[in-house]
Structure 1
Amino acid sequence: MRQLKEQEMKSVIEKLMKYIGDNVRKLIERTDHHYSFRLHNDRVFYAREDVITAAITVPRKKIISVGTCIGKFTKTGKFKLLITALPVIADYAQYKVWLKPSSEQSFLYGNHVTKGGLGRITENTPAYAGVVVYSMGDVPLGFGVSARSTADCRRAQPITNVLLHQSDVGEYIRSESELLT
């Protein structure tokens, strides 16, 4: 487990900024404990420093995870945000979308969201901004990219895609079923 290199840290921060904007600073400079990002087996973890210090005593080959897995670096060197980052980014989300109960299941199956399934959307959400998706009961379901701005959503047809799916909490179940077949 090592600290991120400058280019790696830049990639992680850029991806997080897409979803939480300037709140990245709050994520890094927390007042309750000192947190940092660490890289282990191409995965980026967000953990408290005291937990990282304790993990140093364990051999690298025996460590599976430390803290919250934020994402991973692909073989081409790009950073991909994983669904395990949802609890972290949901707390600091800049733009939010709430789904009607009728479209929650469709989103959890990996589909985009149409205007007909949109319950609410944060005011002044620009097109192609990273958004966190919630149920009407304020339970985070996943994240995606807004296909249209808030103003465009009001004028759109009910079958128009307003949110492009990126990741959801049903992803784990889908990936596990693929491994079993």
Structure 2
Amino acid sequence: MRRRAVVFHGTGATPDVCWYGWLAGRLRARGYEVEVPHHPGTNVEPIATFLPRVLAAHRFDAGTVLVGHSGGAALLLALLQELTEPVAQAVLVAGYWRPPGEEAEPVLRESYDWERVRAGARELCFVNSVEDPYGCDAQQGLEMLQRLGGTLVVRPRGHFGDADDPCERLPLLERLIGGDDERQDPRGG
């Protein structure tokens, strides 16, 4: 089965900022087919109308790795809940499941079916920071871990890329994303 990766950018971002292109290149060198799509509706358009277009625009199967940053990570929660076949792995960088601040977050659902979200990926990884300036912090990561299981990595690294912190490389992601060996389902052994 061909390994694929889809990297979803954050709110207001584009595929050519921070570590997205770097990660795509590293994964391509490991044999992955990689997409870094531009979805300008991320966290702008309500998830109920935005999500069907995202689901239709990409292929999601057992060989797929999903990576989302900030609003793109929040998007992954809704996306995973809708999948009929689990992807290999989902990595949520500076992710959140509840509003991290005072502003509206159209990418979030009012509630989640955590069992269905969990069933959408064989492996879940959360990467959050204790110093996130937007509230996509280690507490959000811990709350997702408690609801979904998986692996939580906490770093003192801000938002892992934004206007004040370009973060052009994020080597941790390359280490977290599945290697050449077959990954076991953490729920079954």
TM-score in terms of structure 2 length: 0.25
The structure richer in strand per residue is 1
TM-score by length of 1: 0.26
Larger relative contact order, structure 1 or 2 (CA cutoff 8 Å, min sep 6): 2
More helix by share: 1
Computing the radius of gyration from Cα coordinates, the structure with the larger value is: 1
